[in-house]
Amino acid sequence: MTPPPDAAIAAAPDATPDAAPVTTYRVGDVVSVRSHNDIYDTEQAIGGARCLAVEPHEDWHSTAVLDFAVATVVAVSTTCPGNPETLAIDVGNSVVPIRAAAVRPIAAACLPAMSVMYDALIPAWTACVAKSPWKGSSDIADVTVRFTAAGVVDDVSYYGTTGWGEKAALCIIKATKRAKLDGRACAGETIRLTSWL
């Protein structure tokens, strides 16, 4: 028997037009950024729209090292132009927008593990710079480290240029390899380690 119209309406679930959209990421998630081009494309798509709860701001020391960056999500939006889900990510001294499809989640423990790596590497990197004829100039020590699925260092390469000369860059690479970094928290990832020296 077909129920009367009023009964059918009463049995229907309540509509929830104001329910929050389902998103892939949440504030506090840690993500891996592969290319700064995705950030640039997202900035172009957003234009002047104020669609993120956190206002993006950039510092050139940070934005110079966005490729292979590990970042924390500080805001999520489904209303930014151009993408169904847009993130604001904290990459040190900068907060930049990026489309959610351009990042991938990694273990939250990778960030504190990177801090331990920095502490282990800075003295050796500083010693490399001290040997350079141009040791008085400031520049960014900049390496990428690729870890195997077991967290063992698979490759170390210098990313970019150095004002201290080629020998200093090679010294920094060798020092990074000798450090035997523990990458278990960043297993399977390629990360970028940088320091203004």
Q: How much of the chain exceeds pLDDT 70, in percent?
A: 85
Instruction: Quickly state the pLDDT bin for 8 (edges 50, 70, 90).
Output: very low
CATH class of 13-105: mainly beta
Q: Cα–Cα distance between 55 and 24 in angstroms, integer?
A: 21
- Which pLDDT score is estimated for 153? 96
The stretch 141-152 carries a mean pLDDT of 94
How much is the pLDDT for 102? 94
d(CA 104, CA 121): 26
Q: Structure tokens of 175?
A: 């020092």
Query: Would the pTM count as exceeding 0.85?
Result: no
